[in-house]
Amino acid sequence: MAEGIDSTASHVHRPATVAQVAEIIREAVKTGAPVTVVSGGHGPWSHAPATGIRVELGELTGVDVEGTTVRVGGGAVWGDIAAALGAHGLALSSGDTASVGVGGLTLGGGVGWMVRAWGLAADQLIGAQLVTASGEIVEVADHEHPDLFWAIRGGGGNFGIVTRFDFQAHRLPGIVFGEYAIAGDSAPVVRSARDLLRDAPNELTVTFMDVPAMDPSAPAGARLSAVWAGSDTEALRAVMSPIAALDGVTETLTTPAYREILMEMPVPEDGAPAGPPGFVGGNGLFAELDDETIDRLVAFRAAYPASIVFLRSLGGAFGDVPQEDTAFPARSATWFVMAGGFDIPGLVDDETRAKILADWREIETGRLAEYGNFADTERPEAVPGMFTDAAYARLRAVKAQWDPQNVFRRNHNIVV
């Protein structure tokens, strides 16, 4: 129960019903307490200490499948959803980590392994139930509160607490997963991947990752990974043959279940979710990966031992969605780029931190927009750069209508 909330203290609530969520929000409005919403517990706000109300949705994790329509509780995580849908021969384009919450990822857009085949997680959303800043429970869809439905597809958690997501899932008989380990210079591999993806079938999505041994989320070193949305191993082998033929590249093809390719994040011995490591750098949605940007990324990784470079191909179904249909920016982008260093005490000093940031600033000059789901700190001044000008203006209007008191502000906040 939310009665008697002290807005200067921290109160954790784990509602088991939508009615309980609504009651908590109504009390928060009375007291003026700030609200932090946690779905899967993977993102930065999940670990930050906060005064006021912390609403953890981990009790709302139901999955209901009817044909290809999937209704998912607001506290579910993608690993569980992938497993549940796999039993029906279905899948959704999700994040690539099992512990990522359906809520946070979808509200911010959701770039994942099937982004070229099916678009963003938000592109598969056909409806939702949410609790508004007034404590009202509303249903939204194209025909029901359409402006609010538009806003939650890319506008983040600014407009309410989504307690149920309704998705249109896809038939998926199987996938083929290709790994291309890179020995030596990775720049030719990235260039080849860029050229290949310009005309590749939508079934293909690739990532490039170069990480140090200290990153527990992936094998150390540089590698390209490819997912084919289908069960034909030879189809992936054929389309990726230019990559496999490059010097220093070793190809491995497997046919796992979709759930099996979602990464598992390490959990501390006490069982508590691991907080995100300090990170110095940034991300962006890029219209094109030109040779200069590729060279800068490779040089960045070489310059800082505790750094990471991550790329994911876009285009395909992602680019087929008209820009104005959702709040997500940069539908003309063909690559997502992230680069930065782990801010490890004793390894990264102030001078190195400044150099990392300066090098990232050089790289980001070519981006169209920043992707909010990979921005791990609250930077109010950066929020307009996560949207087009037209979308940001429209988001502010929707915010003014549905949350004029800015109850939902622990996010990349849209300010009225």
Answer whether 334's CB lies under 8 Å from 286's CB. Answer: yes
Q: What is the 3-state secondary structure (H, E, C) of the chain?
A: CCCCCCCCCEEEECCCCHHHHHHHHHHHHHHCCCEEEECCCCCHHHCCCCCEEEEECCCCCCEEEECCEEEEECCCEHHHHHHHHHCCCEECCCCCECCCEHHHHHHCCCCCCCHHHHCCCHHHEEEEEEECCCCCEEEEECCECHHHHHHCCCCCCCCCEEEEEEEECEECCCCEEEEEEECCCCHHHHHHHHHHHCCCCCCEEEEEEEECCCCCCCCCEEEEEEEECCCCHHHHHHHCHHHHCCCCEEEEEECCCHHHHCECCCCCCCCCCCCCCCEEEEEEEECCCCHHHHHHHHHHHHHCCCEEEEEEECCCHHHHCCHHHCCCCCCCCCEEEEEEEECCCCCCCHHHHHHHHHHHHHHHCCEEECCHHHCCCCCHHHHHHHCCHHHHHHHHHHHHHHCCCCCCCCCCCCCC
Q: What is the 3-state secondary structure (H, E, C) of 319-388?
A: HHCCHHHCCCCCCCCCEEEEEEEECCCCCCCHHHHHHHHHHHHHHHCCEEECCHHHCCCCCHHHHHHHCC
Average per-residue pLDDT for the chain: 92
Burial class, 192, CB count within 10 angstroms (exposed 0-12 / middle 13-18 / buried 19+): middle
d(CA 164, CA 17): 11
The per-residue pLDDT for 11 is 85
Which domains can be identified in the chain, with CATH numbers? Answer: 7-173+376-416 (3.30.465.10), 176-256+277-373 (3.40.462.20)
Answer whether 233's CB lies under 8 Å from 255's CB. Answer: yes
Tokens of 154: 């890319």
Answer whether 81's CB lies under 8 Å from 165's CB. Answer: no
| Interval 308-348: pLDDT, tens | 999 999 999 999 999 999 999 999 999 999 999 988 777 78
| Interval 239-296: pLDDT, tens | 999 999 999 999 999 999 999 999 987 655 555 545 446 889 999 999 999 999 999 9
Tokens of 143: 């025909």
The per-residue pLDDT for 4 is 46
194 against 378, higher pLDDT: 194
Confidence category of residue 214, pLDDT binned at 50, 70, 90: low
Among the listed residues 86, 118, 327, 97, the one whose alpha carbon sits nearest the alpha carbon of residue 204 = 118
**Mean pLDDT, rounded, for 398-402:** 98
Judged against a pLDDT cut of 50, whether residue 10 lies above it is answered with yes
Tokens of 303: 């310059």
The per-residue pLDDT for 130 is 98
Cα–Cα distances (Å) from 118 to 51, 97, 114, 246, in that order, read 39, 18, 6, 29
**Mean pLDDT, rounded, for 50-78:** 94
| Interval 77-127: pLDDT, tens | 999 999 999 999 999 999 899 999 999 999 999 999 999 999 999 999 999
- Does the model's pTM come out above 0.85? yes
Judged against a pLDDT cut of 70, whether residue 3 lies above it is answered with no
- The residue with tokens 């600014």 is 158
Confidence category of residue 39, pLDDT binned at 50, 70, 90: confident
| Interval 340-389: pLDDT, tens | 998 877 778 899 999 999 999 999 999 999 999 999 888 899 999 999 99
Alpha-carbon Rg for the chain in angstroms? 21
d(CA 369, CA 109): 13
The per-residue pLDDT for 386 is 98
